[in-house]
């Protein structure tokens, strides 16, 4: 059982080799890793509709998208959609449309 003053692995890191500290950092980062969810055809169609509607009607939208670091949320107006590359531009971020997991008009 940990007491309130216990610092976990931090108190032992001074006695560890740099390689071991790096390995622990990678291990902790890997534990936080989540897989990209599988979306049904209906979900993909709904997201596509929301994205296109937000662009055509100049509406603000909330988007959740997946990247290697996990899930990210962004709100605002979509600057453009590139149908050829299947990407969208929003607040200076280029997001692959296939990585969008949720979209909601605000």
Model confidence pLDDT, tens digit, residues 24-41? 676 665 555 567 778 889
| Domains of the chain, residue spans | 41-105
Paired with 87 in beta bridges are 82, 96
What is the C-alpha separation between 22 and 16, in angstroms, rounded? 10
Identify the pLDDT of residue 35.
Answer: 75
What average pLDDT does range 10-18 have in this prediction? 57
What average pLDDT does range 73-99 have in this prediction? 87
Identify the pLDDT of residue 69.
Answer: 74
CATH 1.10.540 fits 41-105, yes or no: no
Identify the pLDDT of residue 80.
Answer: 84
Identify the pLDDT of residue 81.
Answer: 84
Give pLDDT tens digits for 43-83: 999 998 998 898 889 899 999 998 877 888 999 898 888 88
Q: What is the 3-state secondary structure (H, E, C) of 29-83?
A: HHHHCCCCCCCCHHHHHHHHHHHHHHHHCCCEEEEEEEECCEEEEEEEEEEEEEC
- Is pLDDT of 5 > 70? no
The residues, any chain, with a CB within 8 Å of residue 13's CB and separated by 6 or more, are 21
Q: What is the model's pTM?
A: 0.63
Listed in sequence order, the DSSP H helices in 33-73 are 41-56
Identify the pLDDT of residue 45.
Answer: 92
Residue with tokens 């296939």: 98
């Amino acid at each position: 059982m940990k007491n309130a003053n216990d610092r976990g692995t931090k108190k032992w890191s001074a006695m560890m080799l740099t390689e071991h500290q790096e390995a622990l950092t990678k291990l902790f980062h890997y534990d936080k890793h989540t897989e990209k969810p599988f979306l049904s055809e209906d979900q993909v169609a709904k997201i596509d509709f929301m994205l296109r509607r937000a662009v055509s009607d100049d509406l603000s939208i909330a988007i959740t998208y997946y990247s290697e670091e996990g899930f990210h949320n962004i709100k605002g107006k979509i600057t453009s959609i590139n149908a050829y590359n299947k990407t969208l531009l929003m607040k200076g971020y280029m997001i692959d449309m296939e990585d969008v997991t949720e979209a909601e008009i605000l």
